[in-house]
Chains A and B, each alone.
Chain A
């Protein structure tokens, strides 16, 4: 990230009547960054993206794009282009005319215009389809046309509103790979709105997780997956076993807690962490628990019994009841050793790494990003 952010959002709020769709959002997005806005449906992602594009005016706050105060600038005067959720392909124009739509205003000479349209179509691998009618395109092709139509304008920022959610799984995974390499090829800032955590993790340089109009955390995919700040973020980014633990020692940079059957665990302490009743929430990801077979030994072990089993092909999800724990533990095991054949009720031993625990703020503690 260079010194000056490409997009700077300062204390932006958006009310619909008394409903707060965006609640004091502040965010900086760097030049050339692939940035994702991740959150459940209705959390305000689209509203935020649309205020960056210029289709929605925040009730308060400031948006700067490439250093220019843009809060009130209309969409057609911003150096941003958008790929709409439904792609918004002009039905009365063919593919070539769709892609050339924004170029017409620039009054390029015909050869230059044709060249740029052809280049854009090459970029999204739609070479030679420019005479195709809009209604003769598949979902994936429509999405590529929408991408080409935006990229041909050479925007400083490309905005994508759930561009892959209408595609089937196979095509979606293929497009994710293409989207990432396209962003690296053109080198401009991409802002992707998605409710799919795997998509955000796989594509982004950084992710902002949103809930109820607020940003809960901004971090790299790895950081956000491994060190979610709150219980809600942890939960949204995949499975997590939550435990209530008693605080034993509260030191400057870390804490010690008594995590029931897991024993004493030391955890890094996030900035601004507090607790009122001497208890904290800690979490461990299901894949950080491991089954022990036969007489295999591990430094940290627990015994339990299989309560439920779900087969997912390459992995099996197990629910393990452990005496002394309120909630059963979920874990994910590869099927190499026969986890898929474990009968319900089987007694098992599992290994864990105390360093894999994270300390999570309960959301009412009001831990906010930044």
Chain B
């Protein structure tokens, strides 16, 4: 074969770019996700854009005045009632996520490190509460925490208290307790996954280099499972900020959260732009809070070294 032939072979006319693209890996990938993508665009992105648009408009009785204004945001951020609701919602959701993560971590850790050959059975058991309806689970907490509920009658029968405790239900604590229970499985799974991914010889290496069980946990296991902890925190925190059902059912007056106010604006008060502004503000606040949580958790873990 001549050198010319060798040299010319890479110059073979490439198939036209358009055709190649159609046969490419990328095209097949796009085709595969396109139904989901279109669905997400239509039902997620468009409504969010609509809500954002509404938040800059004004309600004039039955009509919408489409002139651009910040008035709704001014109200949302300065009215004491909304400010209190934002603070409480953020506080409840952060507290809920923190407690959920703290309770879930040992469970995930136990399954991952001591689950033996039956890890999947354990995980299955963890998800069982999710099989009953969310409403039913919230209602059953009413039965447990109520005035004549399981907890009060139990404690009275045991002689710990003489009178039923009234502060169990219809307040922020009840909301936190109920939410923690609802979301535990969603926190256990990501933490479990990140613990599973830790190479066990790393923990042995830490022991080999002189660490006891606690120190090797703090210096190796915990930092390496941080991605799971962070996703668990966010998975719980982001939806709970806007939770509507739980505060409505077990929150009472003290447990009202921002979703109730938003619902009121879209419903009874019929002020969609204000409701939209409250929603957008919630989204922004929860994103900021999430970023703050991620950064401070990362920082805290770096300090452990």
Contacts and interface: CB of A to CB of B under 8 A. Distances in A.
A264 interface: no
A81 B223 CA distance: 23
A102 B204 contact: no
Given A90-B220, A91-B224, A92-B223, A102 B201 contact: no
Contacts of A84: 201, 204-205
A53 interface: yes
Contacts of A82: 204-205, 208
A268 interface: no
Given A75-B208, A93-B305, A101-B209, A86 B223 contact: no
Contacts of A149: 205, 209
A105 B211 contact: yes
Given A93-B305, A97-B305, A105-B215, A81 B220 contact: no
A86 B224 contact: no
B224 A88 contact: no
Contacts of B207: 54-55, 74-76
Nearest to A74: B207
Contact of B210 (A55, A76, A86, A90): A76
Given A93-B305, A105-B215, A53 B208 contact: yes
Nearest to A75: B207
Residue with the highest number of chain A CB atoms closer than 10 Å, among B202, B210, B305: B210
B215 to A, nearest CB: 7
B224 A92 contact: yes
Interface of B is mostly: helix
B98 interface: no
B209 A88 contact: no
A153 interface: yes
Contacts of B220: 90
Interface residues of B, number: 18
Main secondary structure of the interface of A (DSSP, over half): loop
- Interface size of A as a range: 20 to 34
A177 to B, nearest CB: 26
Contact of A75 (B202, B204, B223): B204
Interface in B181-234: 199, 201-202, 204-212, 215, 219-220, 223-224
Contacts of B305: 93, 97, 104
A76 B214 CA distance: 12
A90 B205 contact: yes
Given A88-B201, A90-B202, A93-B305, A81 B224 contact: no
A82 B204 CA distance: 9
Interface in A57-99: 74-76, 80-82, 84-86, 88, 90-93, 97
Contacts of A55: 204, 207-208
Contacts of B206: 90, 101
A101 B208 CA distance: 11
Interface in A119-166: 149-150, 153
Nearest to B216: A76
A91 B204 CA distance: 14
A32 to B, nearest CB: 21
A72 to B, nearest CB: 15
A84 B209 CA distance: 12
B192 to A, nearest CB: 19
Contacts of B208: 53-55, 75-76, 80-82, 150
B30 to A, nearest CB: 31
B165 to A, nearest CB: 45
A76 B211 contact: yes
A170 B298 CA distance: 41
A92 B219 CA distance: 10
B89 to A, nearest CB: 34
B210 A153 contact: yes
A80 B215 CA distance: 19
Contacts of A92: 223-224
A106 B220 CA distance: 18
A97 B223 CA distance: 14
A149 B204 CA distance: 14
A51 to B, nearest CB: 13
Interface string B3-14: 000000000000
Given A55-B207, A81-B209, A85-B201, 7 more contacts: A74-B207, A74-B212, A76-B211, A84-B204, A90-B220, A104-B305, A105-B210
Query: Which 9 pairs between the two chains have the least Cβ-Cβ distance?
Result: A102-B209, A88-B205, A88-B201, A75-B207, A105-B210, A76-B210, A82-B208, A84-B201, A102-B210
23 contacts: A53-B208, A54-B207, A55-B204, A75-B207, A76-B209, A76-B210, A81-B208, A82-B204, A82-B205, A84-B205, A86-B201, A88-B199, A90-B205, A90-B206, A90-B220, A93-B305, A101-B219, A102-B209, A102-B210, A104-B305, A105-B209, A105-B215, A149-B209
